[in-house]
DNA sequence: CGCATACTTAGCCAATCGGCTAATTAGCCA
DNA sequence: TGGCTAATTAGCCGATTGGCTAAGTATGCG
């Protein structure tokens, strides 16, 4: 699978996004990451493996602990991918503004499609 | 499922991302969207339904055609979500720069962990 | 050494996914 | 009306996902 798909798939789970948010504050062990969730350790371990496959997390070793670290590079990639659509959403938002402006002037006529802008 | 998860899940497929890229150029019918792919129409129809569930695409009706339109708002949301990690990736990139600078000065010592920066 | 702690691996399960075919719905035109 | 085109719906299939339990691995400590 391509890198972008792996990253998006990894982010399509609230548990995994919460783990990333926690890691943005600094290194944490698997147990520390698991604590906030009502999930067994192996489940969290599996989530971490998904994040590692996407290159979003790396793990080192300190005695019997395996501290995890955020690897933010793929997040930059998806931010850039989404940014390519900026023109689209800005155009749509300005259209929405225009629509709301028209609605302000002639509420019913615009909303129902009956009548015209200047049907004096 | 929450909106962000739905959006990320929808984006975790190259076919669906290609469909969005096409729609960024303007409206298109289902058949037009299917053309570039080696996929049957029902498969593309299914992809479109995933995109609609995520609020990324809307469909209207024109005779027997169902022109699709990009709805970019959710893309803005994920761009914003990712942007929250900007500090993380910028810090990591600058660390990489620093590492490469040190490597430039003392290649072997830094790379193997033996020796020190100023082991005079 | 023996045992506790921290975590991973293996494997089960139900649910979802991404592809397909076949059948159905919707609208146009002769 | 009947038929053509566009697209959806229904349903099958094998693969993946997200949860679990039970068992295995790795490290530190008395």
Domain ranges in chain A are 3-77, 85-120
Query: Mutate which of A1, A54, A89, A93 to test chain B, going by most B C-beta atoms within 10 A?
Result: A89
Quick check: B78 and B8 in contact, CB under 8 A? yes
Residue B99 binned pLDDT confidence (cut-offs 50, 70, 90): confident
pLDDT for the residue B87: 97
Q: What is the pLDDT of residues B44-87, one digit of tens each?
A: 999 999 999 999 999 999 999 999 999 999 999 999 999 999 99
Distance CA A88, CA B63 (A): 26
Q: Give the β-pairing of A57-59 and B57-59.
A: unpaired
Residue A108 binned pLDDT confidence (cut-offs 50, 70, 90): low
Residues A4, B20: C-beta atoms closer than 8 Å: no
pLDDT for the residue A24: 98
Check pLDDT > 50 for residue B119. no
pLDDT for the residue A107: 67
Q: Where are the beta strands (DSSP E) in chain B?
A: 57-59, 68-70
Contacts for A4 with CB less than 8 Å, ≥ 6 apart = A77, A78, A81, B14, B17
Residues B83, A79: C-beta atoms closer than 8 Å: yes
Q: What is the pLDDT of residues A44-66, one digit of tens each?
A: 999 999 999 999 999 999 999 99
Tell me which fold the domain A3-77 belongs to.
Arc Repressor Mutant, subunit A (1.10.10)
List C-alpha distances in Å: A20 to A37, A100, B27, B29, B72: 14, 38, 36, 38, 25
Q: How many CA atoms lie within 13 A of B39 on its CB side?
A: 20
Contacts for A9 with CB less than 8 Å, ≥ 6 apart = A1, A50, A54, B8, B9, B12
Helices B3-11, A3-11: axis angle to 10 degrees equals: 160
Interface of B with A in 21-50 (CB under 8 A): 24
Kindly determine whether the C-beta of residue B52 is less than 7 Å away from any atom of nucleic acid strand D: no
Residues B8, A9: C-beta atoms closer than 8 Å: yes
Residue A74 binned pLDDT confidence (cut-offs 50, 70, 90): very high
């Amino acid at each position: 699978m391509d890198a972008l798909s792996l990253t998006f798939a990894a982010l399509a789970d609230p548990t995994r996004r919460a783990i990333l948010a926690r890691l943005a504050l600094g290194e944490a062990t698997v147990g520390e990451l698991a604590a906030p969730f009502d999930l067994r350790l192996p489940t969290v371990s599996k989530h971490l493996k998904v994040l590692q496959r996407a290159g979003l997390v790396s793990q080192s070793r300190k005695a019997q602990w395996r501290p995890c670290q955020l690897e933010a590079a793929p997040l930059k990639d998806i931010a850039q991918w989404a940014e390519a659509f900026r023109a689209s959403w800005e155009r749509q938002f300005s259209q929405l503004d225009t629509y709301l402006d028209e609605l302000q002037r002639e509420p019913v006529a615009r909303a129902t499609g009956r009548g015209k802008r200047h049907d004096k």
